[in-house]
Chains A and B, each alone.
Chain A
Amino acid sequence: MAKKITNNIRKLRFAADEMSQQTLAEKVGVTRQTIIAIEKDRYSPSLEVAFKIADVFGSPFEEIFNYQESEVI
């Protein structure tokens, strides 16, 4: 078992009036493809981008990002 960074961005986007990936990308200052990659846990953003995402949703950092055990296949 290895630890990996996961996130709840998709859930939070839908909770925030179904915010689109493009809107979130523009607010954070990254491309839509980067938001897609982060949501699918394919890319771990920098601390700066992670804090910007937390800022957009107005949620604490640890509510959005988790560092937890996951199965390695």
Chain B
Amino acid sequence: MCTMDLSNRDFSYREQGLIASLFVTLIVFGGYFYSAFTKLALNPAMPSIAELIFVVILVIVFESIMQIFIRLKNTSQSEDERDRLIEKISYKYGYWVLSACTWFLLVQLLLDATFDHLTVFSTPSGIFHLLLLFFVLAEVAHFVVQLYYYRRGF
């Protein structure tokens, strides 16, 4: 029987790292996209490079702090065949998410062009933010699938 054993709180080094990465990605990019999409309708200008660099630096700083903390807490940091297999499977799901989202955008752009009805997402800024969102969603799927397989097993 395949069930998720959520009562088992014995998270491995890899799981702790994944939870940290997922948390940082959701918090930093969640904040960024909330701000970007609420501003998009009013001001569909491209984001400044400084704004994007700031987001990337935030991710690097938070991620580094959390990963250092996790490394200090865990004596065993080795990786084995099961870790590599789970990572490989999660990349497949991440690719599916990215692929589905990209097709969604392509169809939407085609429909917008065909019916001459440009939405805010057809602007360069809208397309930029959607593509960035799709990459982040694929990354989130990559983390979530790994956590799922670590808990559920094969």
Residues of chain B within 8 A (CB-CB) of A42 are 152-154
Is A68 in the interface zone, CB < 8 Å from B?
no
Chain B residues with a Cβ closer than 8 Å to the other chain, count: 15
Query: Among A30, A31, A40, A49, which residue has its beta carbon within 8 angstroms of that of B153?
Result: A40
Is A32 in the interface zone, CB < 8 Å from B?
yes
* Interface bits B112-154 vs A (CB < 8 Å: 1, else 0): 0000000000000000000000000000000000000010111
Q: When the two chains form their complex, are residues A45 and B153 in contact, meaning their CB atoms are under 8 A apart?
A: no
Q: When the two chains form their complex, are residues A33 and B1 in contact, meaning their CB atoms are under 8 A apart?
A: no
CB distance from B64 to the nearest CB of A (A): 23
Is B82 in the interface zone, CB < 8 Å from A?
yes
Q: Which of B20-28, B36-44, B73-81, B101-109 contacts A (4 or more CB under 8 A)?
A: B73-81
Is B12 in the interface zone, CB < 8 Å from A?
yes
Given A42-B152, A42-B153, A42-B154, residue A31 in contact with residue B1 (CB < 8 A):
no
- Give chain A interface residues in 24-73, CB to chain B under 8 Å: 29-34, 37, 40, 42-46, 49, 73
CB distance from A31 to the nearest CB of B (A): 5
The 4 closest A-B pairs by CB, nearest first: A42-B153, A30-B80, A33-B12, A73-B1
